[in-house]
Amino acid sequence: MPTRRDDCLFCSIARQGAYVHQAKGFVAINDINPQAPVHILVLPEHHVDTFRDVAEFEAKETKRMLEFVAETAAKVGLTDYRVVVNVGATAGQTVFHLHWHILGGGPASREDVPAAVAIAEANE
């Protein structure tokens, strides 16, 4: 299985681009269509289509990827933020190269009440 695809937008960005943060095997870029005041995408250089295929990464690569997400958020000054991965077209995935959204810098779009608590209160 090749770790890079010639026809993949994020493979090409991972090879060359303007990065918010970069480390061996990973890059972080600003999202072209931000959904929050800070909206960054973390891309592994190693191509897999979706998070479903994350087992194709070596264990140390997976660990490093998660660390790189946290490092990137810290580097841009975020302490509170959301990390989102859309998995599959009907879940909103539009680019089929695994990537992690880091969203921060503003209020969350939903009330900050855990769903289970909200349901428990509704049943009282």
> Which residues contact Zn ion (rule: CB under 5 A)?
5, 8, 10-11, 47, 97
Least CB distance to ligand AMP at residue 104 (A) = 14
Catalytic residues: 99
Q: How far apart are CA 75 and CA 20, in angstroms?
A: 9
Q: Are 54 and 71 in contact (CB under 8 A)?
A: no
Considering CB under 6 A, how many residues would be counted as binding ligand AMP? 10
Q: How far apart are CA 87 and CA 110, in angstroms?
A: 21
User: In the bound complex, which residue of the shown chain has the CB atom lying closest to Zn ion?
Assistant: 8
Of 22, 56, 93, 105, the one binding ligand AMP by CB under 6 A: 93
Report if residue 32 touches ligand AMP, rule: CB under 6 A: yes
Give all strands of the β-sheet with 26-30 in edge-to-edge order.
21-23, 26-30, 38-44, 100-104, 81-84
- Considering only residues 52-81, where is the footprint of ligand AMP by CB under 6 A? none
User: What phi and psi, each to the nearest 5 degrees, are found at residue 27?
Assistant: -135, 160
Contact residues for ligand AMP, defined by CB under 6 A:
29, 31-33, 41, 86, 92-95
